[in-house]
Amino acid sequence: MGTAMAWPLVDNGWTVHVVGTPLDDDIVEACQRTRIHPRLKRSLPATVHIHHCSELDSVIAQADLVVSGVSSPGIDWMAETLAKRLHSGQMLVGITKGLRISDDGKVIVFPDLIASSLPRRLKTSLFPAAIGGPCIAGELAARRQTCVMVGSRDSTTAKTIAAMLGTSYYHPVPTDDLLSLEVGVALKNAYTVAVGMAYGMHTPDEAGMGMHNPAAALFAAGCQEIGFILNLLGGNERLASALPGAGDLFVTSVGGRTMTLGKLLGQGIPYEQAEQILAGVTLESVQIIREMAKAVHSWQSQGRIGPADLPLLRTLIAVIVDGKPTTFPFSDFFKGA
């Protein structure tokens, strides 16, 4: 995804320098040798330059905009790496999906995590941004149309980055409601697991019927719970039916890798075993569900939610964190809807 972000930037006349993490040496070498990105399966535009991690210092030093495409387990490394290298006048936008929950149940989104590591001299001038919304990397590089949101605590930053990235096929909507954007896109990863589980539960049927009904009920329950959580956090619950909620949940449900985990779990495979089957695949959804387990516990002990709230999220926590068998409480969804 990090490399795919080069397409709209290049099409807007920017020169793009892509730097691999220490784990990306194979991909970097393949790109340098063939000029074809092995995962995107596509030739790199001429103004995209590919670098090993050893060149990070010089690349960041000259950047106007730094796009961080690290996967969620690397977010602390990324925060530390950027804190030492960013300077005044630069902008930063992240595409990593995830969140952290503090001991008192506060939601910490990744751009704020990065902001908190920045040196004092940058704290009032650099406002880390994030992008969320439906966007499969390979389709972005194929210049398929999509709409996304660019969020930053500073609305000028959000607007500037949206303008740098906006093309005839990539349509970023700026927002200063960073929390709602990041919570929405993180939660959609969690709820996609539920949609995948529905499809995984398929059993042969005399008339050849599938599992679209249960998948859709869980899809709706997921959107509804995203709205509930955004509202609880004082955010914009309307985003649950827009890009970070419904839109991103749709694209992940029809085209994303998170479905694979859900399908295994839906077949009745316990989480621990599913994790072994998927060894090597980054499961952002799992990290998010684990963090949300802390949030649900904390919010309930604080009286902010009741025991009947968030029944679908509780099911995901039971399956992934507690390793329990899968049963969805369909009759508990949409209470008070």
Position 311 contacts a second copy (CB under 8 A): no
DSSP secondary structure code for residue 237 in this structure: G
Burial track 284-320 (b if 16+ CB lie within 10 A, e otherwise): bbbbbbebbbbbbebbbeeeebeeebbbbbbbbbbbb
Q: Which residues in 254-273 contact a second copy (CB under 8 A)?
A: 254-255
Under the binding rule (CB under 8 A), the answer on residue 279 touching a second copy is no
Of positions 84, 121, 238, 324, contacts a second copy by CB under 8 A? 238
Which has the closest alpha carbon to 10: 113, 18, 303, 157?
Answer: 18
Residue 88, judged by CB atoms within 10 A of its CB (0-12, 13-18, 19+), counts as: exposed
Per the listing, tokens 């000029």 go with 35
What does the per-residue mask of binding to a second copy show for 193-232, with x meaning CB under 8 A?
A: -----x------xxxxxxxxxxxxx-xxx-xx-xx-----
Q: Which of residues 158-187 bind a second copy (CB under 8 A)?
A: 166, 169, 171, 173, 175
Tell which residue, 233, 223, 184, 167, has the closest CA to residue 175: 184
DSSP state of 243: I
Q: Does 138 bind a second copy (CB under 8 A)?
A: yes
Closer residue to a second copy, CB minimum distance, 238 or 324: 238
139 binds a second copy (CB under 8 A): yes
Beta-carbon contacts of 225 under 8 Å, excluding residues fewer than 6 positions away, are 187, 191, 310, 312, 313
Closer of 81 and 235 to a second copy (Cβ): 235
Nearer to a second copy, 69 or 134 (CB): 134
φ, ψ for residue 268, nearest 5 deg: 95, 5
Residue 264: CB minimum distance to a second copy, A: 19
Q: Which span (57-65, 234-242, 262-270, 295-303) binds a second copy, by CB under 8 A?
A: 234-242
Rounded least distance, CB 301 to a second copy, Å: 27
* Per CB under 8 A, 135 contacts a second copy: yes
Please state, in angstroms and rounded to a whole number, the distance separating the CA atoms of residues 36 and 51: 14
Binding mask 110-129 for a second copy (x = CB under 8 A): --------------------
40 binds a second copy (CB under 8 A): yes
Task: Name the one range near a second copy by CB under 8 A: 142-150, 282-290, 298-306, 314-322.
Answer: 142-150
Regarding 308 and contact with a second copy (CB under 8 A), the answer is no
By the rule CB under 8 A, 281 interacts with a second copy = no
Q: Minimum CB separation from a second copy for residue 80, in Å?
A: 32
If DSSP states are collapsed to H, E and C, what string results for 273-324? Answer: HHHHHCCCCCCHHHHHHHHHHHHHHHHHHCCCCCCCCCHHHHHHHHHHCCCC
Q: Which is nearer to a second copy, 81 or 236 (CB)?
A: 236
Binding residues for a second copy, rule CB under 8 A, total 68
**Tokens in use for 164?**
């740098």
- Please, which residue, 65 or 173, has the CB nearer to a second copy? 173
Provide the β-strand partners of residue 108: 100
Q: Which residues pair with 132 in a beta bridge?
A: 149
Contact 193, 289 (CB under 8 A): yes
Nearest to 159 by CA among 221, 216, 93: 93
User: Which residues contact a second copy by CB under 8 A?
Assistant: 40-42, 133-136, 138-142, 144-147, 149, 166, 169, 171, 173, 175, 198, 205-217, 219-221, 223-224, 226-227, 236-243, 245-251, 253-255, 328, 330-331, 333-335, 337
